Amino acid sequence: MALVVNEEQQMLKESARGFLAEYAPISEVRAQRDSGSEVGYSPALWAKMADMGWAAILIPEKFGGLAFGHVGMGQIIEETGRTLTASPLLSTAILGVTLINLAGSESQKAELLGKIANGDLTLALAIDEGTHHSPANSKMSAIKQDGEYVLNGTKRYVVDGSSADNLIVVTRTSGKPGDLKGISLFNVNSDTNGINIERTNMVDGHNSSIITFTDVHVDENSLLGEFDRGFRPLSTALDVANVHLACELLGIAQESFDITLKYMKERKQFGTLIGSFQALQHRAASWWSEIELCKSIVLKALQSLDEGDAKSPALASIAKAKLCEIVELSTNEAIQLHGGIGMTDEYDIGFFIKRARPAQMLYGGYSYHADRYALISGY
């Protein structure tokens, strides 16, 4: 397959750009933050996104979806990176949909996917328990008892945890932390007795929560996928999520660069434009080159997800690692090249670094993915 975005995908990207410019310009990020919103995103905007069909992009047609694929979804996510738009796209339309599709029974799919497609159901993945992503080390327990399961434990940094209708909970049902076998997934209504949700205020203002489960009783139908064998679909879903996070980071890296390049052509010191200084030109040129590499690896990883090829896990880790490195460069250079104004809250550039770092760390940053890639490669 040619490594280019085709005409349909390009149209989707442009339509996403137009939509976000109209309904979610960067001023909305500021408004959202200043309002102290509990939800962390705009529910009205999410309803409009669902009307656009964005919640349904990865859902198969027979469950009411568009089946437009990862390259298509990636174009939208990249654009939301440029505008720093918070929404349940990642937690619900990407992670939730992928997990249900991979692990769910036919009846679970029929029940849940259609609702997601219409924007009537949001999900959150309750996975990490510590400060660093480490899915195989999940300790939270689920014990089978009288035809139901009892869940106990604490989950942290749950994206959209305090707003989602349902939680997909990663639990350990056998073995010890670190084992790949013995992980089971549950689909649990957030209102179930024994669940306590506390919003964590993160630097990006997105929705993140600590969720405590105390003797939470759920019925057998809550099990998502095979008992003890949840790691496989989980791992694939995390690859998918990481590739889309890489798309978001690509949008952030590009927009930081574009804004800074524009500034270099306006700002004068020593009686001339700062963009005429070779020391800065070389920094910009090398930065631009790195972003070109990012565009290529992200597109490759997206295509690989659509083709379902065996290289997907390695490519997902390469893409996430590379984007973590370059978005860090981008957001740091953006502030430095703006000088003092880049440090002010009044100027927008500071929002980019604030969203970039949580998105980098979510589901593993550079070190996690470089390590994972090396292990996959046999070293």
Partner 1 sequence: MSNLDSFRLETRDWLESNCPESMRKPMKTADDGCWGGRNFKFKSDDQKLWMDRMGEKGWTAPEWPTEYGGGGLSKAQHKILKEEMARIKARSPLESFGIWMIGPALLKFGSEALKQQHLPPIVRGEIRWCQGYSEPNAGSDLAGLQSKGTDMGDHLLANGQKVWTSYGDKADWMFCLLRTDPDAKKQMGISLVLFDMKTPGVKPKPIKLISGSSPFCETFLDDVRVEKDQIVGEINQGWTIAKYLLTHEREMIGGMGLTGAGSKTLGSQAIDSLGTTSGRLNDLFLRTEVAKWEIDAAAFACTAERANDEAKAGQGVGATSAMLKYYGTELNKRRFETLLKVGGSDELIWDGDLSKNDGWMAKTWLRTKGNSIEGGTSEIQLNIIAKNILGLG
Residue type, 219: D
Shortest reach from residue 355's CB to partner 1, in Å: 22
Shortest reach from residue 18's CB to partner 1, in Å: 20
3-state DSSP call for residue 196?
strand
Looking at the Cβ atoms of 123 and 299, the one nearer to partner 1 is 299
Q: Cβ contacts of residue 139 below 8 Å, gap of 6+?
A: 129, 153, 172, 177
Q: Are strands 123-126 and 166-172 parallel, antiparallel or unpaired?
A: parallel
Shortest reach from residue 346's CB to partner 1, in Å: 26
Looking at the Cβ atoms of 189 and 276, the one nearer to partner 1 is 276
DSSP calls for 192-220: STTEEEEEEE-TT--EEEEEEEEEEEEEG
User: What letters, b where the CB count within 10 A reaches 16 and e where it falls short, cover 315-353?
Assistant: bbbbbbbbbbbbbbbbbebbbebbeeebeeeeebbbbbb
3-state DSSP call for residue 125?
strand
Looking at the Cβ atoms of 195 and 264, the one nearer to partner 1 is 264
Looking at the Cβ atoms of 176 and 219, the one nearer to partner 1 is 176
Q: Cβ contacts of residue 1 below 8 Å, gap of 6+?
A: 303, 307
Looking at the Cβ atoms of 4 and 11, the one nearer to partner 1 is 4
Shortest reach from residue 360's CB to partner 1, in Å: 15
Q: Could you tell me the maximum CA-CA distance found in the chain, to the nearest angstrom?
A: 80
Using only C-alpha atoms, the chain has a radius of gyration, in whole angstroms, of 21
Looking at the Cβ atoms of 167 and 250, the one nearer to partner 1 is 250
Phi, psi of 143 (to 5 degrees): -115, 130
Shortest reach from residue 253's CB to partner 1, in Å: 13
Shortest reach from residue 319's CB to partner 1, in Å: 8
Alpha-carbon gap, residue 180 to 172, rounded angstroms? 10
Residue keyed to tokens 């690896």: 297
Looking at the Cβ atoms of 270 and 379, the one nearer to partner 1 is 379
Report CA-CA distances (Å) from 8 to 20, 22, 359.
18, 21, 28
Shortest reach from residue 298's CB to partner 1, in Å: 9
Are 157 and 362 contacting, i.e. CB atoms less than 8 angstroms apart?
yes
Looking at the Cβ atoms of 157 and 287, the one nearer to partner 1 is 287
Residues forming contacts to partner 1 in the complex (CB under 8 A) are: 2-4, 261, 264-265, 273, 275-276, 278, 280-282, 284-286, 288-289, 292-297, 299-300, 315, 318, 321-322, 370-371, 373-375, 377-379
Residue type, 196: N
Looking at the Cβ atoms of 7 and 34, the one nearer to partner 1 is 7
Alpha-carbon gap, residue 279 to 78, rounded angstroms? 30
Shortest reach from residue 279's CB to partner 1, in Å: 11
Shortest reach from residue 271's CB to partner 1, in Å: 14
Residue keyed to tokens 């649990």: 188
Dihedral angle computed from the Cα positions of residues 96, 98, 99 and 104, in that order, rounded to the nearest 10 degrees = 110
